[in-house]
Amino acid sequence: MDLWHCVYCSASAKETSNTELVTLLEECRTKNAKNGLTGILLYHKRSFFQVLEGDRTAVEALFDKIEVDPRHNRVIKIISEPIAARAFAKWTMGYPNIGFKELAEIPALNDFFMRGRSYLELGEGRAKALLAAFQEGRWRVSLR
């Protein structure tokens, strides 16, 4: 397997309710389980941040679909590269059970969140810090 991950952010087409997020997560989890994909999805200030990991072909095929999904726009691919191992092998699509307060405690992202920024303004450096917080930091335990 050509193990790969793709990290992107996007602007939700509208304010996404909890019910809509749960429905989206269910859809993701069912399909990802079939396609051998894992990852995490975050939602904050009308923006999404998602990590997709799995076989390169499957990751890229899914990203092509996600990019044109009308539920969001301004999809920005931040990272697309090979990985040695999955960071979220246990999660067909993990979703953190935390709020703004906890996110704002992530080292290197404190100022960013306190200034009211959305994931769209993350950039590669901060995206890596966010990824690391869920990959090996204390925020990992919040993943459901």
Question: Does 42 contact ligand FMN by CB under 6 A?
Answer: no
Query: With binding defined as CB under 6 A, does residue 32 bind ligand FMN?
Result: yes
SS3 content of the chain, % helix, strand, coil (to 5): 40, 30, 30
Q: How far is the CB of 111 from ligand FMN (least distance, A)?
A: 26
CB count in 10 Å sphere of residue 52: 26
Is residue 104 within 8 Å of 110, Cβ to Cβ?
yes
Task: Confirm or reject binding of residue 78 to ligand FMN (CB under 6 A).
Answer: no
Q: Is 67 helix (H, G, I), strand (E, B) or coil?
A: helix
Closest CA to 105 of 127, 72, 128, 138: 138
Nearest-approach distance from CB 41 to ligand FMN, in angstroms: 6
Comparing CB distances to ligand FMN, the nearer of 11 and 104 is: 11
Check binding of 65 to ligand FMN (CB under 6 A). Answer: yes
Q: Is residue 29 a contact partner of residue 93, using CB atoms and an 8 Å limit? A: yes
Tell whether residue 38 is a contact of ligand FMN (CB under 6 A): no
Within 10 A of 44 (CB to CB), how many other CB atoms are there?
Answer: 16
Q: Which stretch binds ligand FMN (CB under 6 A): 23-31, 100-108, 115-123, 126-134?
A: 23-31
Residues 88-127 within binding reach of ligand FMN (CB under 6 A): 93
Q: Is 48 in the site for ligand FMN (CB under 6 A)?
A: yes
**Shortest distance, position 107 Cβ to ligand FMN, whole Å:** 26
3-state secondary structure of 51: strand
Residues making contact with ligand FMN (CB under 6 A)? 24, 28, 31-32, 41, 48, 50, 62, 65-66, 69, 71-72, 93
